[in-house]
Every structure is written in structure tokens, then in C-alpha cells.
Amino acid sequence: MINASPTPEDIEVARQQLSERIAQEKDAGIPAFDRTDAVTDMKRTPFLMAMRTNGYTAKLNRSGCQVLESCPLCRGSNRHTFTKGDQEIHLCSDCGK
């Protein structure tokens, strides 16, 4: 089995990029409800950004929402399904497993 989890470094890079984007939007005077931070989860969003950077796409249902499940390890509800080529994997943004 391939370890597809993003590394802590991948997540930190994504977190920095996200923080920079939010700071730029604040500096530009974008109203609070229109900024990225209004719809951002500071744990899940960098995880998803790192997965995208590593070539994985989050699986979406017919309405365009991400497919989420309960994680069997940590019991969180943030277990995502990702695809890359013909590979499909399940990873939790809470515990990384």
C-alpha cells in the first residue's frame, strides 16, 4: 500500500500559502464574508491543498460536494476519498490515516 498522506512539511507549506492569501485579501479590503477565511477550516483546508499539490483529487458526489465518511481510527467525520489516476484512497484530515 502506498503512503499517500501529505507530509507535515507539505501541510505547513499549504498552511503558509493559505495564511498569505487571507492576509492579502484583508489588506486589499475585501469584506469579511467574501474572504477565503470565511469558508476555511485551518486544519482541513491545508490538508486538502497539500493533497491537490501532490496530484490527488477529492472525490465529489453528484451535487459537487466532497465525499466524507467517518474515520474508523479516530472516529472523526473527515475521512476523504481521493483519486489519482486509477488509484483511489481514503485519508482522514484529522488523523492522517
Task: Specify the pTM.
Answer: 0.84
Where do the DSSP E strands lie in 1-97? 57-58, 68-69, 79-84, 87-92
Write down the pLDDT at residue 2: 63
Q: Please give the Cα distance from 87 to 73 (Å, whole number).
A: 22
User: How would you write the pLDDT of the chain (97 residues) with one tens digit per residue?
Assistant: 567 889 999 999 999 999 999 999 999 999 999 999 998 888 899 999 999 999 999 999 999 999 899 999 999 999 999 999 999 999 999 988 8
Q: What is the reported pLDDT for 5?
A: 87
**3-state SS, residue 81:** strand
